[in-house]
């Protein structure tokens, strides 16, 4: 059971990282590693101590549009102040937004859903098995497709 859960989580983390990487690489001029970091960021809530209560639990505050918006605004501010070239303002914000947004979009479709209207506690979801083998294959195929198509074939967000 422990092994099964470990493999499930490893697969889920890998999928969020791959999707984030592909979106940032395919649609922005920012460093695609930003896609890995911010594609995984919401799941940092696995590090919250077990005794903490909502919203400081898994699929709590770090899985809300409000949190994502705060991170995107932070990315914009950092990019504007210290960024140069591709890292400036909107480019960095777009990269961060695509990555963290992809994580929330995927998780929102899962049975547990996310709290879309946080701080209200309302999670609705279509209950899809987003980390099932079939869904994982679909997400990886789409990501590889974006990478294969290449940055040249896709419109870039600047």
Minimum distance from residue 35 beta carbon to Zn ion (Å): 15
Interface of this chain with Zn ion, residues 107 to 136, rule: CB under 5 A: 107
- Give whichever of 42 and 75 is closer to Zn ion, judged by the CB atom: 42
- Give whichever of 9 and 138 is closer to Zn ion, judged by the CB atom: 9
- Give whichever of 9 and 144 is closer to Zn ion, judged by the CB atom: 9
| Choices 20-28, 48-56, 99-107, 129-137; region in contact with Zn ion by CB under 5 A | 99-107
Minimum distance from residue 104 beta carbon to Zn ion (Å): 8
42 binds Zn ion, rule: CB under 5 A: yes
At 152, give phi and psi (nearest 5°).
-70, -35
| Choices 106-114, 121-129, 134-142, 144-152; region in contact with Zn ion by CB under 5 A | 106-114
| DSSP, residue by residue, the chain | -HHHHHHHHHHHHHHHHHHHHHHHHHH-SS-THHHHHHHHGGGGGGGS-TT--TTSSTTSGGGSHHHHHHHHHHHHHHHHHH--GGGSHHHHHHHHHHHHHHHHHHHHHSTT--BTTTTS--B------TTSHHHHHHHHHHHHHHHHH-GGGSPPP-
43 binds Zn ion, rule: CB under 5 A: yes
Residues that bind Zn ion (CB under 5 A): 42-43, 107
């Amino acid at each position: 059971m422990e092994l099964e859960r470990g493999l499930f989580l490893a697969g889920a983390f890998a999928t969020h990282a791959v999707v984030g990487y592909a979106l940032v690489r395919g649609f922005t001029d920012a460093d695609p590693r930003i896609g890995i970091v911010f594609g995984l960021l919401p799941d940092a809530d696995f590090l919250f101590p077990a005794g903490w209560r909502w919203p400081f639990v898994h699929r709590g505050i770090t899985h809300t549009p409000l949190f994502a918006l705060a991170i995107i605004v932070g990315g914009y501010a950092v990019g504007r102040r210290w960024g140069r070239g591709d890292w400036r303002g909107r480019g960095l914000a777009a990269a961060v937004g695509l990555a963290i947004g992809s994580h929330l979009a995927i998780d929102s479709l899962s049975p547990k859903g996310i709290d879309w209207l946080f701080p209200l506690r309302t999670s609705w979801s279509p209950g899809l098995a987003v980390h099932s083998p079939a869904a994982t294959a679909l997400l990886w195929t789409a990501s590889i497709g974006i990478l294969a198509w290449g940055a040249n074939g896709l419109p870039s967000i600047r």
